[in-house]
Amino acid sequence: MATRDPAAERRAWAAGVPGRGLTYERAHAFGAEKLHRWRLDNGLTVLLLVDASAPVASYHTWFKVGSRHEKPGKTGLAHLFEHLMFNETETMKAGVFDRKLEENGAETNAATWVDWTYYYESLPSDRIKLAVKLEAERMSRLVLREPQVASEKEVVANERRYRVEDDVEGTANELLYKAAFPEHPYGWPTIGWMQDIQGFTPEDCVAFYRTYYAPNNATVVVVGDIRERDLLLAIRDAYGPLPAQIVPPEDIVPDQPQLELREHEIRKPTATEKLLLAFKGPALGDADHATLSVLSEVLFGGRAARLYRSLVVEQELAIDLRGWVSTFRDPGLFECWATAREGHTTREVQVVIDAALAGVRSDVVTEDELARAKARLELGLLQQLETIPGKAEQIGFYETVLGDPTHAFDRVEAYRRTTASDLRRVARRYLVDRARTIVRVLPEGPPAAEAAQ
């Protein structure tokens, strides 16, 4: 009896498609499901996952462009596109893009970070071809003229006031990355410096668009209740005529290894002191990344975490405590954020953090601590896969940053393999006190109510 081979069937089907232009590459195991990889002749990667749990589909377009591709003086340009892409195209006046999507019941948005930009539409599944048409249109026929650029610059300036200027954590975080990465583009904010935002011209935008918004620099991810063949033909017809572009090689200047302590203080109108403390960490693709993430969970994740217990529960020195390992393509940071309670200082908080970090460098954590951290990380991954848009985001993110759309599952395996001695090894390698960056936020004066009396 012949054995059915769906992958071979897909290849045969692609070869027989009239007009061709479409190649089936492979299937990836995505948990118990299958994710299929296709490629158009112009280089567009298409990843499809059928999930019929609800009559909806999510259409994500991930571009390999983020703030790392900008130049000094032009920071924030990648993020500005997150706004400009919802504007006028050669066949649609301003506002039409959003109205068409809304009229069809779509949820749509976009996000930009250091390594990537992505756009998504989630639609009732029988309307998903609208996303194909609109995304192909704005990938190649965006109109970038003065009125659109000027208006969106103003919106982004207001977004920056909201996220940075008037936000204590936003300001501190911006300063931390600037200090930690004096050369690498990770040192400037993805939203851009205010004077750069205000200085963009339509010409800057056109040059950036022509360089990075191209099918060979993008991945389309579709997850949902889709008819794979119909959708692929629609994608081929809509994107097939778009030409590939020459994407210039990256011109990144890596930072020299940090060998010294970098320390900054700022004053803000806030009642309590805050501490941001960061060590240079591994890249997302480094095997140590998952290990350091487990260590972060042991120290910071949840009320039973070692440092949370010391600082928030037992000694009551802090109220908010978080740890995070940057999920960047190049080496990023292992960050810690702590908010001291009223009447306490970040110096007191730091003494406790330093002791805990010394502890994980000198001794192995307990098996109970390790099991707790692994269970929390597994729960976190499952929660990210609960919805159709959530699956599409995971696939697009790992494909764009690592070239591996199912890496989320590999990470869970890596968490499971991690041992207590692995944690001590990465603690010794990365958590080097003399080579870290610290930002302190101090209150400006007495609380407003007290001052008013």
Is residue 348 within the footprint of another protein (CB under 8 A)? no
Please choose, out of 156-164, 240-248, 253-261, 398-406, the segment that lies near another protein by the rule CB under 8 A.
Answer: 156-164
Q: How far is the CB of 255 from another protein (least distance, A)?
A: 31
By beta-carbon proximity to another protein, the closer residue of 38 and 308 is 308
**Residue 360 φ/ψ, nearest 5 degrees:** -80, -15
How far are the Cα atoms of 26, 49, 235, 240 from residue 39, in angstroms, in the given order?
10, 15, 10, 10
Is residue 29 within the footprint of another protein (CB under 8 A)? no
By beta-carbon proximity to another protein, the closer residue of 44 and 312 is 312
Please choose, out of 20-28, 153-161, 195-203, 392-400, the segment that lies near another protein by the rule CB under 8 A.
Answer: 153-161
Which residue of 25, 159, 348, 404 would you call a contact of another protein, by CB under 8 A? Answer: 159
Which residue of 329, 341, 361, 440 would you call a contact of another protein, by CB under 8 A? Answer: 341
Cα 91 from chain centroid (whole Å): 31
Which residues are CB-contacts of 245 (< 8 A; sequence separation ≥ 6)? 210, 211, 214, 216, 217
By beta-carbon proximity to another protein, the closer residue of 35 and 40 is 35
Q: How far is the CB of 373 from another protein (least distance, A)?
A: 8
Between CA 164 and CA 173 the distance in angstroms is: 9
Q: How far is the CB of 443 from another protein (least distance, A)?
A: 11
Is residue 110 within the footprint of another protein (CB under 8 A)? no
Which uninterrupted H or E stretch holds 334? strand 333-340
By CB under 8 A, how many residues form the interface with another protein? 76
Which residue of 23, 42, 104, 315 would you call a contact of another protein, by CB under 8 A? Answer: 104
Beta strands 436-443 and 262-268, pairing class = parallel
Is residue 306 within the footprint of another protein (CB under 8 A)? no
Write down the H helix ranges in 29-166.
77-84, 96-103, 128-140, 146-160
Which residue of 5, 286, 413, 444 would you call a contact of another protein, by CB under 8 A? Answer: 444
Please choose, out of 7-15, 62-70, 211-219, 380-388, the segment that lies near another protein by the rule CB under 8 A.
Answer: 380-388
Please choose, out of 246-254, 255-263, 285-293, 384-392, the segment that lies near another protein by the rule CB under 8 A.
Answer: 384-392
- Of residues 191-250, those binding another protein (CB under 8 A): 225
By beta-carbon proximity to another protein, the closer residue of 195 and 383 is 383
- Of residues 349-368, those binding another protein (CB under 8 A): 368
In the DSSP assignment, the letter for residue 51 is -
User: Is residue 89 a contact partner of residue 142, using CB atoms and an 8 Å limit?
Assistant: yes
Please choose, out of 180-188, 303-311, 352-360, 405-413, the segment that lies near another protein by the rule CB under 8 A.
Answer: 303-311
By beta-carbon proximity to another protein, the closer residue of 46 and 56 is 56
Between CA 394 and CA 407 the distance in angstroms is: 9
Between CA 61 and CA 49 the distance in angstroms is: 14
Is residue 269 within the footprint of another protein (CB under 8 A)? yes
Q: How far is the CB of 119 from another protein (least distance, A)?
A: 14
The DSSP line for 275-297 is EEEEEE---TTSHHHHHHHHHHH
**Token duo for residue 327:** 């999920």
How far are the Cα atoms of 61, 68, 84, 122 from residue 87, in angstroms, in the given order?
17, 24, 5, 19
**Token duo for residue 122:** 């989630």
By beta-carbon proximity to another protein, the closer residue of 196 and 288 is 196
- Of residues 413-442, those binding another protein (CB under 8 A): none
Please list the helix, strand and coil fractions of the chain in percent, rounded to the nearest 5, in that order: 50, 20, 30
The DSSP line for 165-227 is IT-HHHHHHHHHHHHH-SSSGGGS-TT--HHHHHH--HHHHHHHHHHH-SGGGEEEEEEES--
Write down the H helix ranges in 334-406.
346-362, 367-384, 388-402
Q: Report the side by side order of strands in the sheet with 22-30.
A: 22-30, 33-40, 45-50, 218-224, 56-63, 117-124, 107-112
Q: How far is the CB of 18 from another protein (least distance, A)?
A: 25
Which residue of 11, 34, 127, 264 would you call a contact of another protein, by CB under 8 A? Answer: 127
- Of residues 30-89, those binding another protein (CB under 8 A): 51, 53-56
By beta-carbon proximity to another protein, the closer residue of 123 and 214 is 123
Please choose, out of 123-131, 230-238, 398-406, 420-428, the segment that lies near another protein by the rule CB under 8 A.
Answer: 123-131
By beta-carbon proximity to another protein, the closer residue of 154 and 410 is 154
Which residue of 137, 237, 255, 378 would you call a contact of another protein, by CB under 8 A? Answer: 378
